[in-house]
Chains A and B, each alone.
Chain A
Amino acid sequence: MTFTESDLDHIIKLAHLDVDAELRTQFLPQIQSILTHMESINQFDLSQVAPSATAFAAEMILRDDVVVPQGDLLLSQNAPVWRDSAFVVPRIN
């Protein structure tokens, strides 16, 4: 499969990234060669194989549904902008 410049633009937009022109020029052939290499998976007959999200199915352990003290989550300390117990962000538009 070919990975074109417009594919790159589309993915950069989807991923909320900013990639400068120099890096775009580097990325395009690099990602193309990586994706070409990935096509080695097509040498295997996978028609009868089930996909695995993890290596082995382990029993999922869940905590009791009770409130536990969280301690200081350092929200205000780590927030880029914090006001009136809330994260402040620019307007949507």
Chain B
Amino acid sequence: MSAYFGSAVELGIQFRNRTRRVVDVVSQLWAHHDRVEPSVKSYISTLKDASLEKATALDVQFDQGNDLPLLAGIPMAIKDNIHVLGTPTTCASQILKGFMPPFNATVSDRLLGQQAIVTGKTNLDEFAMGSSTENSSFHTSLNPWDTSRVPGGSSGGSAAAVASGQVVLSLGSDTGGSIRQPAAFCGVVGFKPTYGRVSRYGLVAFASSLDQIGPFTRTVEDAALVMESISGGDLHDATSSFMPVPAYYSQLKPRISGLKIGVPRELFGSEIDPGVKAKVVEALDLLKANGATWEEIDMTSLKAAVSTYYIIAPAEASANLSRFDGVRYGYRDQDADNLRDMFRKSRGTGFGPEVKRRIIIGTHVLSSGYYDAYYTKAQKLRSLIVADFAAAFQKYDVIMTPTTPSTAFSVSGYRDNPLAMYLADIATIPVNMAGLPAISVPCGLDNGLPVGLQIIGPAFSEQLILDVAAGYQGVFNFPTLMQSPMMRGN
């Protein structure tokens, strides 16, 4: 029997009516993993034995007719900057070599409480800094649609694992687009929640005012199901919101008719590849044919969103990463003869080039004489970006954009030009700056590579975004139309 490439929702139904056994599904996925993983390299570490043991135990419970949660038995992978007790957290960095987390992240606790089966920890750019996984200190993950190309980043391993059919869903983190961009590149659904909707406890911090955890799935229903499970307040994260969590999955109502859509000109001009733009226009016109309206709007502050982000995020990163000093955990240079030397040598060896580059930029913009010129101004621009979105949502229900300016780029395509790679985050970064929720859904292929449509809503409008995405999925059946070659047996 071939591996299961459907949705978590359908799989849960089949587990309940016993037309599929959990252990069979997990075994088949591991057999598929053995075939495709050498070409994709989505994982840093795997939990094969533990996942099979858990699958066997869950089958006993299903056989007994026990009432199990909807995610029970669903195989899922977790980005390796999110703690799972008993499994190393590396952040794809040499500086965390050998580190074992002493607790579960809250999202891990919640998903394990739902009896989901964790299959392993997925690859990422070191400390989530990058857009391709090329900054991982272990290996570069590759795109299941074309293995000469990157899967995106930083959560590229999580996206590639789902798109290659190795797991049904996965978790990533999104600081400037790190869920939505790889979702777009790999042709899967990627959801970035409102800042505070999902606890960050147990997520290794990159930029604390921007980071959020969210799911990669094949369908919108699965994204709703995961969001329902992981959202909600957490006393371990003072920035998490205790606003009630809607039943995103059971209340999901596909919605298109009457929808007013704004499309910012700043994210729809010459910076977007014509092939990508054409697919997004097709998607917008399909929504229009089904009763929505769309028009281009001006949001001028978005022109400076990338600059704003690359001041604020490195500034916060330089502070957050100061904890990696070789004293309490991780790599230590053993040859240093004094404390300062130990800090310098441990960090010098443990961090890769991109992390060093961002620490330097962050330290510079926070340093005396530059703080007001860069950091304070960037914080003011964040206020303008927030205000621009608030004004747009007075008139439009949702904002839509291409998720990325291009389809997946070639490995090493931006090797010597970090600024060019930063600029490729143009459409995803404004969402993080404004703390908003957004989803990327597949909207077609350009030269055989997936294109993503980004749907952005007001703060805490997760249900609206999921409803609109479900509406789009209803008229453009991407889960069936857009299976990667690795799920079609090619």
Contacts and interface: CB of A to CB of B under 8 A. Distances in A.
Interface of A: 1, 3, 7-8, 10-12, 14-19, 23, 26-27, 30-31, 33-35, 37-44, 46, 49-56, 58, 60-63, 71-75, 77-81, 87, 89-93
A20 to B, nearest CB: 8
Name the 8 nearest CB pairs between A and B, nearest first. A18-B348, A55-B435, A51-B379, A80-B332, A78-B329, A16-B343, A46-B380, A49-B380
A55 B419 contact: no
Nearest to A49: B380
Contact of B326 (A37, A44, A80): A80
Nearest to B303: A40
B382 A1 contact: no
Interface residues on B, range: 35 or more
Interface of B: 98-103, 195-196, 209, 233, 235, 238-242, 301, 303-304, 306-308, 310-311, 318, 322, 325-332, 334, 336-345, 347-349, 351, 353, 356-357, 359-361, 363-365, 367, 370, 373-374, 376-384, 386, 416, 418-419, 422-423, 433-436, 459
B435 A81 contact: no
A27 to B, nearest CB: 6
Interface of B is mostly: helix
Given A40-B304, A61-B233, A54 B209 contact: yes
Given A40-B307, A61-B238, A7 B364 contact: yes
Nearest to A47: B380
A41 B307 contact: yes
B223 to A, nearest CB: 22
A25 B266 CA distance: 34
Contact of B328 (A26, A27, A46, A78): A78
A9 to B, nearest CB: 11
Nearest to B301: A44
A58 to B, nearest CB: 5
Given A33-B419, A63-B235, A74-B102, A42 B361 contact: no
Contacts of B383: 49-52
B353 to A, nearest CB: 6
